[in-house]
Chain A
Amino acid sequence: MRFFLSLILEAYAVALASMQSLGGVHTDEAKYLLNIPYPHPPLARWLLGLTDGWSHQEFFWRIVFASLCVQAVWLVWALTLGMPRRQRRYVALMWLCASALVLQAGTVMMAPLTALQGLVLLWLVSKIELKEEWAGWVGLFWLVSLFTAYQAILYLPLMVAIIKKVRIHRMAKFLYIVVPVLLLMLYTFTNPLALAAIMIKGDQGTHTTLVEKVAGFLQVWMLSGSLILSVMGTIGLARSRQWELILSFVLVSAYLFLARFDYNAILLLPLLVTGMLFYSRQWIFQVVLVIEIALSVVIVWRSIPALHPTPARAVMQVIADQHKLGDVLISGSFGHEWQYESSFPIYRYTQALVPHAQAIVCLDACIGVKIPPEWQSLGKTPMPVFERRK
């Protein structure tokens, strides 16, 4: 039965990955797939970057990420241990049907991985007793989580609660929690680009008004649990009176308030699902699940990813079809997806680089671009593209 269920779940994961792959790679995804060294720490993006020569690299990782998110339902199942079987099924389905999971499971982003790490920590919190031998593995897991993405620090209260339960020396507890954080700080200082990117992102947030920030946060919070799970999960967490759950929720919410990005909605999902464990009446689970499914359909329909290729993919495909060699020059501001879609080096347009180039792409209406007379325009591209004739 478990094997059969796993197969059905895998089919669901493949469907979610396929949905995300239709439009092509987005700039943040390209950053991880190519292992471009900012803003996040290197662990996961280094692994992804090792495969950047694979022709199906993007789809492979989409399936891996989607499978991890969907199969994590077994961990949700373990988290609900002790509840009536029917209620456990409802909670498991709530995880699978939440809009954040549907919209983000197939993306090659760090947020789904961090959310899964949060789910593992929540599962460890739910365990009544932890043996001494576990402490080191939990410390290593904490180190891995932090070196996957900075956002893992938002689950610090969960880590503190887990380590507190283990019967080891106080100093050892302190080291298991603090050493990984100090190593992450040291890493940050070895990568000035990451530091600059964090500061620029922080600075961007200062230009939005309080009302915009509140509205932005509410939108991401709603997206995380298809509104109904967001509401009921939050109330459940408040009812839990477990400081580690509440504090972690506050930290994630504060982060979403300051840096509002839809893709971070999944960071709240493990906490919201945990919030449902603090209800006992069966009808509540039934009503929440039915409403969640209905709202997820609406939310996913409204924010379904683009089904047509990104401009980067469309243009680079046309350039590759010309079977020429040389660099590709781009005039205007561009994202990392242009680097990802190209098998040739990409440079910002400067006149000095034209002799070594095979194509010039104009993203800014060719302002200041001098196209040599022997070059020709390539048709059927979303923006002006010029190529060398021979």
Chain B
Amino acid sequence: MTRPPLSALAFTLVSLGVFAVLSMRFLPLVPLYLHAGTRAQTQTALNAIAEAQGWLVSDMAITDVTDQSMTFEYHPHHRGGDSLQCHQYCFTHHVLQSCGSSCL
């Protein structure tokens, strides 16, 4: 049996690596694509938070969505030394809090 060329191995490894990273990011977002209600709720909440805090929607990246809450990273972009904050928004109480808190 002949050994596969190095380029084929490199392609396979890179593709698998990219797939693994993207899958881990995609799985927590699945409810966003499966439930129209969750999607609408998330969009409304995101816009409301941006409006109230003076944030840009493009500085907010959703990392997790459930029917109870959404988690997002806020990254105010500017030259040098950007900060990264993790927030959680509870759909039930309409509360914006730091990540790790409970919505119950």
Contacts and interface: CB of A to CB of B under 8 A. Distances in A.
Nearest to B55: A347
A329 interface: yes
Given A136-B8, A183-B15, A339 B77 contact: yes
A353 B78 contact: no
A136 B5 contact: yes
Contacts of B9: 136
Interface in A129-146: 132-137, 139-140, 143
Given A53-B79, A339-B78, A353 B54 contact: yes
Contacts of B57: 193
A37 interface: yes
Interface stretch (A84-92, A112-120, A172-180, A282-290): A172-180
Contact of B55 (A37, A143, A342, A348): A348
Interface string B28-66: 010011000000000000000011111111111110000
Contact of A346 (B8, B32, B61, B76): B76
A186 B19 contact: yes
B23 interface: yes
B contact residues, range:
35 or more
Q: Helix, strand, loop or mixed for chain B's interface? A: helix
Contacts of B7: 133-137, 139-140
A210 B58 CA distance: 32
Nearest to B7: A136
Contacts of B1: none
Contact of B11 (A52, A139, A347): A139
A132 B5 CA distance: 8
Interface in A269-288: none
Given A348-B55, A349-B54, A343 B80 contact: yes
Given A192-B62, A343-B79, A183 B26 contact: no
B6 interface: yes
Given A183-B18, A186-B23, A345-B76, A133 B56 contact: no
A263 interface: no
A346 B10 contact: no
Nearest to A185: B22
A257 interface: no
Given A189-B26, A329-B54, A348-B55, A34 B77 contact: yes
Contacts of B84: none
Given A143-B18, A189-B33, A340 B11 contact: no
Interface in A49-80: 52-53, 57
B58 A193 contact: yes
A259 interface: no
A143 B15 CA distance: 8
Contact of B78 (A139, A342, A348): A342
B80 A187 contact: no
B14 A143 contact: yes
B3 to A, nearest CB: 11
Nearest to A191: B61
A36 interface: yes
A38 interface: yes
B100 interface: no
B33 to A, nearest CB: 7
A57 to B, nearest CB: 8
B22 A187 contact: yes
B15 A347 contact: no
Contact of B8 (A135, A343, A349): A135
B14 A52 contact: no
B26 A186 contact: yes
A350 interface: yes
B61 A193 contact: yes
B29 A183 contact: no
Contacts of A137: 7, 10-11
Nearest to A182: B19
B79 A342 contact: yes
A183 B19 contact: yes
A344 interface: yes
Given A183-B18, A186-B22, A187-B22, A140 B54 contact: no
Interface of B: 5-11, 14-15, 18-19, 22-23, 25-26, 29, 32-33, 50-62, 76-82
Report, nearest first, the 3 A-B pairs whose CB atoms are least far apart. Answer: A136-B7, A347-B54, A53-B80
Given A192-B62, A346-B78, A348-B54, 7 more contacts: A34-B77, A36-B59, A133-B6, A136-B10, A140-B7, A192-B29, A193-B60
